[in-house]
Amino acid sequence: MSIAQSTRKHDAGRIPGAWACPSVLEVRVQIALSPTKPMFFAVHGAYATAPNVGTVASALFTSISSAWSTNLASLMATTTIFQNVFCRDMANPNNPVFTGTGTAIPGTSASIAMPPGAALVLTEQIQGRGRGMKGRIYLGGFATNADAGGGIPSAAAVTGMGAFGTALLNALSAQGLTACVAQAPRAAYLGVTGTSHAARGSINPSTGTHVQVSTYSFVDQRWNSQRRRAQP
């Protein structure tokens, strides 16, 4: 049987529909840029024993919000608010989402807010090699005291982002979770240029895999853009 080949408009390796990722917890963080515009970032944690997801969600709210408050809040506009942490066990795509309990935390910078699309990025450094293996965490809501001009963040922002990445890794570890990148299953396919790519995970049932993260690092020390956040 021939292997499908991708085109610039079609990803031949993509398997549509919901998928599971055994022994992995999805952690999704919600931060408000304004009363009507939330932003989200997600990380994943692998577990050896299935945890109480609701308890973990609340514990992670406490630790991640504390790390955000300590390292980034002074660089965030007062309209930027750390709001929620959501957790879901990915062992089954139908598992419920649990919301952590905690008090929302606003930014404390006296400076004006930067454009909503402006973001700094943490790179998920993984213990493996291969195209598409790393993850990225976009953080926005900064005020102008985080900007050094010329597309470069301030020294305080560089320090704060690095410290937040370390604290995020430690927050997962404290809950018995090993930081990882969850990867969707993919069918074997040929790339646009004809390169052969092996299948990943299981097609039936649709089950993904994960690869361990060693650090959340502030490697790309410049301003990036999330265009959708700049839209009305």
Q: Residue written as tokens 């006296």?
A: 110
pLDDT at res. 228: 75
| Cα(90)–Cα(84) distance, integer angstroms | 19
Predicted pLDDT of residue 226: 86
- Counting the structural domains of the chain, the total is 1
Q: What confidence score (pLDDT) does residue 231 get?
A: 64
Other C-beta atoms within 10 Å of 77: how many?
25
In a domain, 3, yes or no: no
pLDDT at residue 45, rounded to an integer:
98
Which are the contacts of 197, defined by CB distance < 8 A and separation ≥ 6?
Answer: 13, 186, 188, 189, 190, 191
Q: In degrees rounded to 5, what are phi and psi of residue 133? A: -85, -30
What's the whole-number average pLDDT of the chain? 93
Q: Which two tokens stand for residue 214?
A: 């060693």
Which pLDDT value is given to residue 12?
Answer: 92
Q: Kindly state whether residue 11 falls inside one of the protein's structural domains.
A: no
CA atoms of 62 and 147, how far apart (whole Å):
28
Write down the pLDDT at residue 128.
64
Using pLDDT thresholds of 50, 70 and 90, give the confidence band for residue 35.
confident
Element of type H or E holding 1: none
Residue 106 in domain: yes
Whether 6 maps to a domain, the answer reads no
**Residues 124-159: tens digit of each pLDDT:** 998 665 555 678 999 999 999 999 999 999 999 999
Is the Cα dihedral 214, 218, 220, 226 positive or negative? positive
The answer to the question of residue 114 being in a domain is: yes
Residue 216 counted as domain residue = yes
What's residue 135's pLDDT? 87
Structural Rg of the chain based on CA atoms: 19
Neighbours of 28 (CB within 10 A): 17
Identify whether the C-beta of residue 138 lies closer than 8 Å to the C-beta of residue 224. Answer: yes
Other CB atoms within a 10 A radius of the CB of residue 35 amount to 8
Residues 6+ apart with CB under 8 A from 16: none
Interval 38-88: pLDDT, tens: 999 999 999 999 999 999 999 999 999 999 999 999 999 999 999 999 999
- pTM for this structure? 0.92
* Neighbour tally for 36: CB within 10 Å: 7
Instruction: For residues 117 and 88, give the distance between their C-alpha atoms in angstroms, rounded to a whole number.
Output: 27
Q: Is the pLDDT of residue 22 over 60?
A: yes
pLDDT for residue 184:
92
Residue 93 located in a structural domain: yes
Tokens 């291969």 belong to residue: 130
Domain that holds residue 97: 24-230
Closest CA to 85 of 107, 120, 54: 54
pLDDT of residue 1: 58
What three-state secondary structure class fits 152?
Answer: strand
pLDDT in tens, 179-209: 999 999 999 999 999 899 889 899 888 999 9
The predicted pLDDT at position 134 comes to: 72
Q: Is residue 155 part of a domain?
A: yes
159 CB-contact burial (10 Å; exposed 0-12 / middle 13-18 / buried 19+): middle
